[in-house]
Homo-oligomer: A and B are copies of this chain.
């Protein structure tokens, strides 16, 4: 997600090599003797993106280790990193079920039924693969944490789903959705990476909080990019949140802070974007949210979470790995994709 500066050597190199190990382990664990399974798994590669969770697991492992960087990472770190990425990938694949459903609503796919089922099953295969992978570790803690975090993620998604089109969604519930849906897994990646280096529980806990706070900031930035981003830069279609009835932070803050007249205009723009997500309506909504400072306040909210996250890094000894975690934390909200 970021290019670490060369003065953090040897961390950038160790990280790059480690991420290569994670990718190999990921692929090897999902390999199947059945052709249709192997074919689908090959498609999963197109989802592989920022590798944020593996990078955090490895960097937290490096930063918590008593060893020198070149010797600090073990198979346990790669296993934890690959497990977290597999869980994340499963959520992306299952999100596709929704996307395919949308395409189907416009009647485009010929074999939508089979496509839908394959996406559900492939996602399940990834979840099962993730649990199986981390169950192979000697330490039982990763399997327990990943199991409990996965339950929290689903609960967060269901909470979000039940608040679709709920214009009264309050900040507390919104934050709870983000912490469960996005923060919990990123927190686990950091915590488990540290534990695999033999870090004390207090350090692992601080890094879990770092990851949790960063995850919330990451998701707010994602929502801002959906609202304001340029499709070609973001790399996926934008303006989808309003179309899906998803209420995100700028909307919550706007409805809370804007004067009555502006609120009416915002709700009308939201309704229009909901009804016609492919037209100009999402852009009009974005402009209104920007005008009433809701976008600016959302950015400040994300930045505040990053600041709090970076404070947790004080639990670590100073060094290039801690500095890399600091830079990665800032990058989460300074990204345009």
- Residues of chain A touching chain B, judged by Cβ–Cβ distance below 8 Å, are 32, 34-37, 40, 90, 94, 97-98, 101-102, 105, 112-114, 116-118, 120-125, 127-129, 131-133, 135-136, 140, 143-144, 146-148, 150-151, 153-155, 157-159, 161-162, 164
Chain copies in complex = 2
Give chain B nearest CB distance to A55 CB in angstroms. Answer: 24
Q: Is the CB of B122 within 8 A of A36?
A: no
Q: Is the CB of A127 within 8 A of B124?
A: yes
Residue on B with the closest CB to A94? B120
Give chain B nearest CB distance to A255 CB in angstroms. Answer: 21
Distance A161 CA – B114 CA, assembled complex (angstroms): 7
Q: Is the CB of B143 within 8 A of A128?
A: no
Give chain B nearest CB distance to A31 CB in angstroms. Answer: 11
Partner of A128, one of B97, B151, B161: B151
Partner of A122, one of B105, B153, B158: B158
The answer to whether residues A36 and B128 also contact, given A94-B120, A114-B164, A117-B97 and a CB cut-off of 8 A, is: no
Q: Is the CB of A161 within 8 A of B121?
A: yes
**Residue numbers in B under 8 Å from A143 (CB-CB):** 131, 135, 140, 143
Distance A162 CA – B94 CA, assembled complex (angstroms): 19
A sample of 30 inter-chain contacts (CB < 8 A) reads A32-B155, A40-B158, A90-B124, A94-B121, A94-B124, A97-B117, A101-B116, A101-B117, A105-B113, A114-B164, A117-B161, A118-B158, A120-B120, A121-B158, A124-B150, A125-B151, A125-B154, A125-B158, A128-B153, A128-B154, A129-B151, A131-B131, A131-B143, A131-B147, A131-B150, A132-B150, A135-B143, A136-B144, A140-B140, A143-B143
Distance A90 CA – B120 CA, assembled complex (angstroms): 11
